[in-house]
Amino acid sequence: MTTGIVKGIISNLVQVEVSGPVSQNEICYINLGKEKLMAEVIKVVGNIANTQVFESTRGLKPGDTVEFTDHLLEVKLGPGMLSKNFDGLQGDLNKRKGVFLTRGEYTDPLDENSLWKFTPLVKVGDKVSAGDWLGSVPESWITHKIMVPFVMEDEYTVKSIAGEGDYKITETIAVLIDKEGKDIEINMIQKWPVKIPITAYVEKPRPFKLLETGVRTMDTLNPMVEGGTGFIPGPFGAGKTVLQHSISKNAEADLIIMAACGERANEVVELFVEFPELDDPRTGRKLMERTIIVCNTSNMPVAAREASVYTAMTIAEYYRNMGLKVLLLADSTSRWAQALREMSNRMEELPGPDAYPMDLPAIISNFYARAGFVYLKSGTTGSITFIGTVSPAGGNLKEPVTESTKKAARCFYALSQARADSKRYPAVDPIDSYSKYLEYPEVIEYLNANVNPHWVKDVNHTKDILLRGKEAQEQINILGDDGVPLSYHDKYWKSELVDRIILQQDGFDKVDQSTPMKRQQYMLELILEICNADFVFEGFEEVMPFYTRLINICKQMNYMEFQTPEFNNYEAELHKIVAERRAK
């Protein structure tokens, strides 16, 4: 076992002189009295290993001894992770004692004493390889697959498999024979390095299936796909966290993983307090039953903050290999990037823009690339849809983290301070935002077959209405109401009709908080029909009252259950008012 001696300390960067070979991302423990501080090797120069410590380094001094483990930073995977609150190193926060986290205390993420009802899925003599399903156990409402460990790369023969019954995760449930005839005992636990993607699948095609989030401004104008990537940049207070909570509650996903990778403590407290109380509209149970939270707030050590996003992604990959649709939400990836910047600066590396690491775009791209839609060996599919938030200082969307993430993510949901200030929620700017998935032939083909053959055309037309309305508003503000042609008022109020009925959504209303795709399509066609009509007005004074009346009726429709008698009555009234004003 390699050992070392502390030679230099720069905050949580500790330089260690090593006695033997060490690896990048290897874990070591620094001895500080009775405490052992966990650290990760991030750079090796000669016999000096630069390590980032996951704890406060107060009291550490040159000469302290270090022990290397010959293991990379890894997570422990198995039944019992659902509904848990983990820290960035996958320590179970519920097992921590006291108000403050104790330095050097690391808790086991799994409970080794619980019994799980195991059902075998293979038989003696079957050939298996990494990622194949050996059996299953019920975990909350999902079926947790027990898989051949991902580290086992060859083909193996099943020598024995446990019968149906209750077992601990440490008990042997299968014995496999390798090519050399050696027996390998398998239990329900496996470990995997967080910095290395899990690739135990057959194929990873370009994603194409629409992922319904229930948020109209996303689904209607800039759709996300199952296995896709997106990010939500915006200034503080514009609603990033609230939008993520809405997506997590209503999105069409089997499993939710929330990575609080450096968000402010008060917002994380909301996460811990609110999620256990939220009802899951998909299952009728509590949302927390299909949620995992990985938490490292902005006042925690930067190294743990950086590890938290990788921990969350690796757990997501593990569940993806069970054939589940996983939604991974990270809040906020800016803190992750700032952690990378701090460590890069302490190592005196050549800085990039705004002192971020030169390879920041590559790091972000590699991470986003781990999401995706996959075909599994079992013949089923699994996916990880990743949506991160970015908190640019001052709302500057030209800063390095936002620019780097733009190159990696395919969906861009820009939050607008102006929309937030005017209480237009969700505050996603419909003009600046985009979904590059609308450019993919596979996605267009899927939308044409499953949603509407004219969907992409309608989306482009809707965005054009909003853009023309914005231009008209600017002219009205400059020249005054009577200084512009009547058509400018008409264009502006048609864009307001789209904005207030399609884009704005009431997150506190039982019906309006989530809109199914069928209803979104119906309402969009209804609003576009009005926007495409020509109306007769004697003067600009008549325009606002007319469209305000339409908006009020359509809002009432949004609050009604779809196509109920009350909904249909409002729609009939809407058509009557439109017909009275329509040009002959």
Q: Domain-by-domain residue ranges, the chain?
A: 3-72, 116-188, 210-385+406-434, 455-581
Residues whose CB falls within 8 Å of the CB of residue 218, separated by 6 or more in sequence, listed in order: 224, 247, 411, 413, 428
Whole-number CA gyration radius for the chain: 27
pLDDT number for residue 99: 66
- Give the residues of the chain that fall short of pLDDT 70: 98-99, 263-267, 298-299, 584
Question: For 400-442, where are the E strands, in sequence order?
Answer: 411-412, 434-435
Q: What is the CATH number of domain 116-188?
A: 2.40.50.100
pLDDT number for residue 273: 76
Residue type, 209: K
Q: Pull the structure tokens for residue 99.
A: 């108000």
Q: Alpha-carbon distance 289 to 138, whole Å?
A: 13
Closest CA to 388 of 202, 484, 259: 259
pLDDT number for residue 286: 83
455-581 to CATH, choices 3.40.50.620, 3.50.50.60, 2.70.150.10, 1.10.1140.10 = 1.10.1140.10
CATH homologous superfamily for 210-385+406-434? P-loop containing nucleotide triphosphate hydrolases (3.40.50.300)
pLDDT number for residue 516: 94
- Residue 441, Cα to own-chain centre: how many angstroms? 25
Closest CA to 382 of 209, 184, 515, 264: 209
* Topology of domain 3-72, CATH: Elongation Factor Tu (Ef-tu); domain 3 (2.40.30)
Cβ burial of 151 (10 Å; 0-12, 13-18, 19+) is: exposed
**Are β-strands 116-120 and 325-330 bridged in parallel, bridged antiparallel, or unpaired?**
unpaired
Q: Alpha-carbon distance 329 to 387, whole Å?
A: 5
Q: Alpha-carbon distance 417 to 236, whole Å?
A: 9
Contact 528, 221 (CB under 8 A): no
pLDDT number for residue 105: 85
Axis-axis angle for helices 455-479, 486-498 (nearest 10):
130
| Triad 158, 164, 165: Cα angle to 5° | 125
Looking at the chain, how many residues does it have? 584
